[in-house]
Amino acid sequence: MLFSETSPTREQLDNVSPEELRAFYAAKASINPNLSTPSLPPTIPNVYADTVAQEGKGLAIMAVSEYQGILQNFFVGLLDAKRILEIGTFTGSSAIFFANALKRNGVAGGPDANGNKPVICLDISEKYANIARKNFVEAGVEDYIEVIVGDAQKSLASLEGQTFDMVFLDADKPAYKYYYDMAIEKNMISKKGLIIADNTAFDFVTPYLGISAPVPDDARPLNVSFEIPPCPPGLGKAIHEFNEYVRNDPRTEVVLMPLFTGLTFIRLLKD
């Protein structure tokens, strides 16, 4: 590690290359996540460690980082959100952050009058769903979260009529546009609500933002990406198309932040 202190000195900053600086800030150990409040959900470090042990580092990086979890929780508080839909749950990190944030908003656990829990998680993998459910019990948030296993496009159809204050898109990228349209067209996102789409600025995609250059079918994030291993062909193209679709959509206001691997914040504009 280049710097031993939380804050590098001016002299260190003058002598460091952009690549080293980028690597430093990308490193999880560079800034103590507990400099933010509230502190991390207590079991999150165990969830990360177990995920790395069971799935390997290459897959474990799919979990949201501490920083992203904290940031998303800030928005849960800002919106005074009561219900959250997560599409893509993996071993449950982001959902644990969400459940904790809802607790802080005073939301009670357990099913509401309609039998629905505050957080609905969708994942196609029975294996990941079972790991996530175990992690929810260990985190003491199982009353807050229901996991529905299956292709999210089908699961979403079964949720029609339900409304959420936040929808987190973190599953298969080619289906982001479908999930986004469903959330808006079926009124699944509340008027004040926020849609967050993850991974929308892979290194490959970023240079294409704002221009109309065609993206080749075999587009993929460059290997220089520090968070993402080589991804399947077509992934970059799918993300690019989603980015272009939402930024041209008159129904919404969109901010794509170059944070982590790209986070897009989307809110509905008034009719």
Ligand X SMILES: C[S@@+](CC[C@H](N)C(=O)[O-])C[C@H]1O[C@@H](n2cnc3c(N)ncnc32)[C@H](O)[C@@H]1O
Which residues make up the interface to ligand X (CB under 6 A)?
62-64, 88-91, 93-94, 122-125, 128, 151-152, 170-172, 175
Sheet strands side by side (includes 263-268): 145-149, 119-123, 84-87, 164-169, 189-198, 263-268, 252-257
Q: What spatial distance separates the first Cα and last Cα of the chain, rounded to whole Å?
A: 51
Who's near 44: CB < 8 A, 6+ residues apart? 66, 69, 93, 96, 97, 139
Nearer to ligand X, 2 or 148 (CB): 148
Four-CA torsion 57, 143, 157, 167, nearest 10 degrees: -60
The tokens for 8 are 């590098």
Q: Give me the least distance between CB of 125 and ligand X, in Å please.
A: 4
Nearer to ligand X, 210 or 233 (CB): 233
Q: Give me the least distance between CB of 40 and ligand X, in Å please.
A: 13
Neighbour-count burial for 66-94, b at 16+ CB within 10 Å, e otherwise:
bebbbbbbeebeebebbbbbbbbbbbbbb
Nearer to ligand X, 31 or 149 (CB): 149
Nearer to ligand X, 12 or 162 (CB): 162
Q: What values do phi and psi take at 111, rounded to 5?
A: -70, 150
- Radius of gyration of the chain, Cα coordinates, nearest whole angstrom: 19
Q: How many CB atoms lie within 10 A of CB 39?
A: 12
The tokens for 112 are 């509401």
Whole-number Å distance between alpha carbons of 90 and 62: 8
Nearer to ligand X, 31 or 124 (CB): 124
Q: Give me the least distance between CB of 135 and ligand X, in Å please.
A: 9
Q: Give me the least distance between CB of 214 and ligand X, in Å please.
A: 26
Q: Give me the least distance between CB of 68 and ligand X, in Å please.
A: 8
Half-sphere exposure of 4 (CA within 13 A, CB side): 0
Q: Give me the least distance between CB of 246 and ligand X, in Å please.
A: 19
Nearer to ligand X, 16 or 140 (CB): 140
Q: Which residue has the closest beta carbon to ligand X?
A: 88
Nearer to ligand X, 93 or 264 (CB): 93
CA 43 to chain centre: 18
Q: Give me the least distance between CB of 174 and ligand X, in Å please.
A: 9
